Structures are given as C-alpha cells and as structure tokens.
Structure 1
Amino acid sequence: MKGHVILSHGSDSGPGGTKVAALAVVAKACGWRASCADYRDLDARGMLACIDPRVARLRQMIRADEPTVLVGSSMGAFVSGLASLDSPVAGLFLMALPLAIPGYARAFGATRVATAIVHGWDDEICPASEVVAYAQQRRASLLMLSDAHRLAGHVELIAEHFRLFLAAIEAEPDLAALAEVEE
C-alpha cells in the first residue's frame, strides 16, 4: 500500500455518497488504502455540535506510520483541514470548502501540505470568491467548476483530478516543502 486515504462526507450525506464513493474507488485503484469516515451519528447532534466530535473521530483514524491523504466534501473538507493541524498528513483534497461555519468559533485552518481544492462557481453555500482568495494565499491547486455546492455534475472530472493529485504525492512525497516557499 502507498498510504491511507481517509474520506469525509458532508453533513447531508454519508460514507456512501456519490463523490466519496467515487474517490474511494480511485484511491484503491491507485494502490492506496481507502477508509470512509461515518459521521451520521454525530451529524444528528446538529451543525455546530458535530464539528469537534467529527475532528476527533477523524484524528483517531490517522496513523503516524503511513502517508495519509485527507479528502473531504463541505463539512468533511472543513473538518479535514482542522484535523490536519494536529495530525501528520501528506495531502488534503478539499471539495466545496466552507471557510467558516456560522456560529462556530474557529475559521477554517489547515497544515501546509500539498492541497487541492475543487469548488463550484455557483456554490450557493460557500462563496467562490472566498475560496479562490484562500487558494491563492495558500498556493493550493484550485479547480473551479461550473457547478453548485454538491458538484454533482462533475464527479468523473473530480475523480480524475484526484487521481492526478495522488500521483503527484507519490512522485514528490515531500510536497509540503513546496507549500513553505514564500513569494
């Protein structure tokens, strides 16, 4: 195995959601171990009450002895970033990224590792302009699509983008060093 891909679903989804399931297939086909976190029991607590327990559950899935890539959609992207701040990860693949959750004290944050963001120009929940600015500030790879928050019209394209992201991590396992380059 090349490493571990941990996929985190959004708050209105589950581990069998369309994007999460498609990316799990890609990870396995590329020789990575894939795990889909299940947060549905935590999501029943409500939007704000589920965030910290989601982060804690995700951190428990990360092992320091293998390269780990965190993948998340919407709330799953938000908690993947937060979990990366205190856990060793090789990369982040974030879709429909919220940079803040109304009422939650912390804004989005993530460790400086190889990061790819996929977002919809017509995202009705997470403003595209904020995500573009964040990606520019972090020098993250950014794929903007003519789609809404769920990105349902581009699952195959997202899966291909993810395959290329994993290939880049395999080819250059220390991509985190590139993230530290100052302008």
Structure 2
Amino acid sequence: MRGQIILSHGSDSGPDATKVSVLAALAESLGWSTQRPDYRDDDRRGHAGSVAPRIARLRAAMELLEAPPVLVGSSMGAFVSGLASLERPVAGLFLLATPAAIPGFESAFDLRLDVPTVLIHGWRDEVCPLDEMYEFAGRRQLPLLILDDDHRLSANVDTIAQQFRLFLDQLAVAA
C-alpha cells in the first residue's frame, strides 16, 4: 500500500459522487487505500453551518491513520480539506472547484504551503468564481489547472483523473 487518501465530496452530493468515485477507484488501482467520509448530515446545516462539522469529521478520520494522508476534495470538500490541512499534517492536497470563502463562515479558504498541492477549476464555474481562486493560487504560487467546464467539472472527469494519476506518481517518487 502506498498510503492513505481521504476524498471529500461537495455539498448537495455524497460519497458516491462521480468525481470522488472515479478518483478513489484510480487511487486503489495504484495501490493506495481510500476512504470517503459521508458529510450529508453535516450539509443539512447549510453551507456555513456545515464547515465546522465537516472539518471535525475529516480531522477524526485523519487521526485514525498511521501516516499523513493525501486529501482530495471537490467544492465544499476542497474547502474543508484545505482548512483541515492547517490543523493536521497531510501528504498532499488535490482540490477541485474550490471556493475562496463560504458566505457566513468566519474564515476564508487557506491551506498548508509545505505540501504538494494541485488546484483544478473551471473557466465557467458559476458557484465558485475563478477569479478568486486564480488570485489565491497566484499569491501562493500554486499550480492551478483551469479547464473549459463549469462548477461540476463533469465534462473533464477523464482529464482530472489523468492529473490525479500524475500527482500520485509524483508523491510516490518523492516518498
């Protein structure tokens, strides 16, 4: 086994969502162990109200692991993965359609800068404006792949999977 990956789904979604399912299957085929927390109960609290419970659930999953995991997240899952990385060591961050802020939540998006990170966003993201994540990535000099897609990134699942494979291969070489 190469390591642990925790994949966090977005709001109005679930642990069997297309992107996290495809990425989990790919990671498992490469020898990684995966888990996908179910945040649907937390999401009933609304966007701002779900952030703290989601982080607590993710942190609890991380605490059970022997080594720092790779965190993968989409939208709200990306937001909480970044914030959780500030509290616990992580081996990497692979974040999709990340919001720069959640209206009503006190903290803006942030993440550890000392771990490999890839951000992927859609040009036409109608939920999480690209400009905000573009500025965030630029200030921190983080890789940002911008795809011709909307918030769901559903037209580019294969491209995302290819990028994820490259990311995991780079982590394996660095280890």
Q: TM-score, normalized by length of structure 1? A: 0.91
CA deviations over 1:52-88 (Å, ceiling 9, x no partner)? 0000000111146224100000000000001000111
One-letter amino acid matched to 1:41:
D
1:139 positional shift: 2.1
Q: In structure 2, the residue corresponding to 1:49 is in which secondary structure?
A: helix
Letter in 2 for 1:162: F
1:125 to 121, 127, 136: 127
Q: Do structure 1's residue 41 and structure 2's residue 41 form an aligned pair?
A: yes
Question: Take 1:164 and 1:142, find their aligned partners in 2: how far apart are those partners?
Answer: 14
CA contact (8 A) 1:2 1:67 kept: no
Secondary structure in structure 2 of the residue aligned to 1:94: strand
C-alpha separation between the residues in 1 aligned to 2:30 and 2:145? 21
Q: Which runs of 4+ in 1 moved over 6 A?
A: none
Q: C-alpha deviations, 1:92-127, integer Å up to 9, x for none?
A: 000000010111110011111111001000000111
Aligned to 1:143: 145
Deviations 1:21-80 (A, max 9, x none): 000011101111010110001111221111100000001111462241000000000000
Q: Secondary structure at the match of 2:72?
A: strand
RMSD: 1.0
Correspondence for 1:3:
3
Return the TM-score normalized by structure 2. 0.95
Query: 1:177 — aligned with what?
Result: none
Residue ranges of structure 1 left out of the alignment (5+ in a row): 174-183
Alignment partner of 2:48: what SS?
Answer: coil
2:74 corresponding residue in structure 1: 73
Letter in 2 for 1:38: D
Matches within 5 A, 1:169-180: 169-173=171-175
Shift of 1:159: 0.6
Query: Which residue is 2:89 aligned to?
Result: 88
Q: Percent identity?
A: 54
- Unpaired runs of 5+ residues, structure 2, are none
1:62 aligns with 2:62: yes
Query: Amino acid of the residue matched to residue 77 of structure 2?
Result: G
